């Protein structure tokens, strides 16, 4: 049996950020031996690498929610991290656009929500001001978010992995966890984890950062009260790429829709444009095939703000799955950070429902987990 201080389950962006934080804080009350167990053969193969790669500013989320607080904190931490390590990113800015006059009141509500969350740099632009910035847009007005940006998510995750390994941590691939037995001895903390090949690992602290599979993994913890654990729900997001030159210099977002942020335009660091994601509720999180016919709906949605989109300009891109913990007909759930104060299992933290803005929030989430362990 291996004996370690910390096991983090999942080597997505959040799992890597958490493991790095715990390993690098070993001299200040943190942990010296940190193992990351990843079921796949590489880091970040699921939600972490199948998103828009946007650094969000914290506009959309309810006041005092974890999404709001961790996004705003995480945005600053992330920009600092990327600059310090000379990792690729661009602070392009974003326009949230009102295609119809009645949507202008929605923009006003978003601006107020952003102020409640501590986002103070939004600027309301009239129609003529928008046209001067982006002449190809045809909208009634917009909110300009100058602190929104884009990054290379894989370069970021590789850097997190490098930090972790330099601090003495390890990422172990092709190692799904099949069973977890809590330490139920007096003053016990942590658990014994069994992997697919029968290896047992005893850890003082365990972090479930399994992303799409986090609710399932949480139910592997024998001896834990499962009444606090949510069910997993999957909202697939499909992307289509623009075949041709993109006339926009900034990210373009319509007003938000149920379960997502609408069919928006994002750019990669090479200036290539893609549209999406849409919202397609699915039962199978492994089905990542993009149905080309879904692109038919994209044209109408995009032409609400860019009427000049040429016919046949969209080509099938990729898809990702949002790891939701609310069903289709339920209100959007907040990030769920379940520590021992809730489920009464000492030394165990479950991270569930970490969808957008999880990438932006990753370093802030890691600091919250560190605080959770320091409280024990």
Q: Please indicate, yes or no, if residue 363 is contained in any of the structural domains.
A: yes
Q: Do 211 and 278 fall within a single domain?
A: no
Asked if 42 and 74 count as a contact pair (C-beta separation under 8 A), the reply is: no
CATH label of the domain that carries residue 311: 3.30.9.10
Q: Do 202 and 239 fall within a single domain?
A: no
Q: Please indicate, yes or no, if residue 107 is contained in any of the structural domains.
A: yes
Q: Do 260 and 209 fall within a single domain?
A: no
Residue with tokens 């092709």: 174
* Local confidence pLDDT in tens for the 376 residues of the chain: 789 999 999 999 999 999 999 999 865 455 679 999 999 999 999 999 999 999 999 999 999 999 999 999 999 999 999 999 999 999 999 999 999 999 999 999 999 999 999 999 999 999 999 999 999 999 999 999 999 999 999 999 999 999 999 999 999 999 999 999 988 765 667 899 999 999 999 999 999 999 999 999 999 998 777 788 999 999 999 999 999 999 999 999 998 766 556 789 999 999 999 999 999 999 999 999 999 999 999 999 999 999 999 999 999 999 999 999 999 999 999 999 998 777 667 889 999 999 999 999 999 999 999 998 876 5
Q: Do 133 and 263 fall within a single domain?
A: yes
| Residue in 340, 345, 349 with CA at minimum distance from that of residue 367 | 349
Asked if 6 and 205 count as a contact pair (C-beta separation under 8 A), the reply is: yes
Helix (H, G, I), strand (E, B) or coil at 211: helix
Q: Do 172 and 249 fall within a single domain?
A: no
Q: Please indicate, yes or no, if residue 12 is contained in any of the structural domains.
A: yes
Count up the domains in the chain and report the number: 2
Q: Please indicate, yes or no, if residue 86 is contained in any of the structural domains.
A: no
d(CA 192, CA 187): 15
d(CA 54, CA 275): 13
Q: Do 182 and 313 fall within a single domain?
A: no
CATH label of the domain that carries residue 355: 3.50.50.60
Q: Do 261 and 320 fall within a single domain?
A: yes
Q: Do 169 and 315 fall within a single domain?
A: no
Q: Do 179 and 312 fall within a single domain?
A: no
CA dist list (Å): 274 to 100, 155, 285, 322: 23, 20, 22, 18
Residue 108 domain boundaries: 94-146+233-324
* First and final C-alpha spacing in the chain: 25
Q: Please indicate, yes or no, if residue 137 is contained in any of the structural domains.
A: yes
Q: Do 315 and 170 fall within a single domain?
A: no
Q: Do 170 and 267 fall within a single domain?
A: no
Q: Please indicate, yes or no, if residue 87 is contained in any of the structural domains.
A: no
Asked if 191 and 207 count as a contact pair (C-beta separation under 8 A), the reply is: no
| Predicted model pTM | 0.95
């Amino acid at each position: 049996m291996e004996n370690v201080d910390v096991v983090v389950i999942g080597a997505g962006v959040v799992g890597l950020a958490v493991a790095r934080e715990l390993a690098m804080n070993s001299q200040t009350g943190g942990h010296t031996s940190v193992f990351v167990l990843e079921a796949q053969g590489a880091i970040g193969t699921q939600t972490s690498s199948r998103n828009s790669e946007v650094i969000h500013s914290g506009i959309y989320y309810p006041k005092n929610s974890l999404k709001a607080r961790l996004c705003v904190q995480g945005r600053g931490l992330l920009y600092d991290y990327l600059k310090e390590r000379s990792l690729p990113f661009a602070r392009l800015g974003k326009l949230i656009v009102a295609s119809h006059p009645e949507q202008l009141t929605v923009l006003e509500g978003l601006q107020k929500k952003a102020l409640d969350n501590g986002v103070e740099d939004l600027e309301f632009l009239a129609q003529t001001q928008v046209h001067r910035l982006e002449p190809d847009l045809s909208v009634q007005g917009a909110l300009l978010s100058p602190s929104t940006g884009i990054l290379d998510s894989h370069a970021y995750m590789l850097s997190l992995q490098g930090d972790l390994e330099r601090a003495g941590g390890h990422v172990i691939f092709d190692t799904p966890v099949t069973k977890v037995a809590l330490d139920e001895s007096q003053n016990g903390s942590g658990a014994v984890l069994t992997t697919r090949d029968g290896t047992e690992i005893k850890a003082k602290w365990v972090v479930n950062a399994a992303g799409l599979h986090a609710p399932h993994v949480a139910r592997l913890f024998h001896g834990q009260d499962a009444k606090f654990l949510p069910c997993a729900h999957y909202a697939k997001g499909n992307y289509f790429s623009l075949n041709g030159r993109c006339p926009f210099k900034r990210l373009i977002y319509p007003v938000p829709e149920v379960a997502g942020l609408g069919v928006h335009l994002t750019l990669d660091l090479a200036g290539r444009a893609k549209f999406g994601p849409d919202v397609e509720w699915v039962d199978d999180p492994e089905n990542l095939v993009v149905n080309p016919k879904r692109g038919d709906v994209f044209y109408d949605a995009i032409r609400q703000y860019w009427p000049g989109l040429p016919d046949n300009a969209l080509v099938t891109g990729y898809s990702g799955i949002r790891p939701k913990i609310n069903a289709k007909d339920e209100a959007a759930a907040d990030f769920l950070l379940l520590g021992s104060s809730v489920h009464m299992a000492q030394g165990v933290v479950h991270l569930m429902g970490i969808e957008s803005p999880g990438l932006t929030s990753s370093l802030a989430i890691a600091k919250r987990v560190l605080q959770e362990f320091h409280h024990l």
